[in-house]
Amino acid sequence: MRNRLVLLPGWGLGVSPLEPLAAALQGLDEHLHVQIEPLPALGSCDLEEWLDELDATLPDNTWLGGWSLGGMLAAELAARRGERCCGLVTLASNPCFVAHEGWPDAMPAETFDAFLSGCHADSQVTLKRFGLLCAKGAADPRGLSRLLVSGAPHTAPHVLMPGLELLAQLDTREALLAYRGPQLHLFAAMDALVPAQAASALLALLPDVEIGLIEQAGHAFLLEDPHGVAEAIQAFLHECVDD
């Protein structure tokens, strides 16, 4: 199914941030079927359980993609499926969301720990703060933040917490190196959650894949400019199919 792209959303905000991108992609190519799949609602942060759930739910032999946490999970699933995955597209997805000695170009651990504590205390307040950070760097950050948060599903804290805990422990570098299919990774220069330097670090790790940095955009660039992002993805898909 080289004409099917499955997109996974980021943490906490649901599928609505991906809907304008899906519509833009299908407007560019009527033969491309774009499927947005919600993240699993699991009470565990065990990566294998998340991948088992996604592997059982998602159609085989498709393109896999996602935004932020969704892109990280898509990378892990692509590596698991190997030749049963047509290619990988990630949007604002850092191989490691939380910085450590081996990957410093990420969110400081103390900042993430404050997020984790905040979510445990009041998940809705934390989601609003998260929405503001996603929208930072946009032309209208407050408007974009309101759009992000208003479209978010009302998810119970016991479902939100495992996703955050998974985000803290994920390291997709081995998966990205193991997956031999085509890859496109897009980052934003003004991203307040994933430092722009992560794009250069990923290019050093994976010199043979396509990596782009979108100027004057923040973490939610897919919602701010869905048509521009769709054009970049479509060009990548067509180039791979033509090859």
Active site residue 122: no
- Report how far residue 166's alpha carbon sits from residue 47's, in angstroms, rounded to the nearest whole number: 7
CA angle 153, 156, 159 (to 5 degrees): 100
Residues 109, 100: contact at Cβ < 8 Å? yes
Catalytic residue among 68, 93, 123, 145: 68
Backbone phi, then psi, for 85, in 5-degree steps?
A: -120, 125
- CA-wise closest residue to 73 among 95, 101, 57: 95
- CA-wise closest residue to 162 among 53, 56, 46, 58: 46
Active site residue 93: no
3-state helix, strand, coil in the chain (%, to 5): 50, 15, 35
Catalytic residue among 93, 123, 171, 191: 191
> What's the start-to-end Cα distance of the chain, in Å?
16
Active site residue 117: no
Catalytic residue among 93, 185, 219, 225: 219
**Tokens 């990774």 -> residue:** 185
Neighbours of 45 (CB within 10 A): 17
Whole-angstrom CA distances from 182 to 25, 75, 241 are 18, 11, 10
Q: Give catalytic residues, as residue numbers.
A: 68, 191, 219
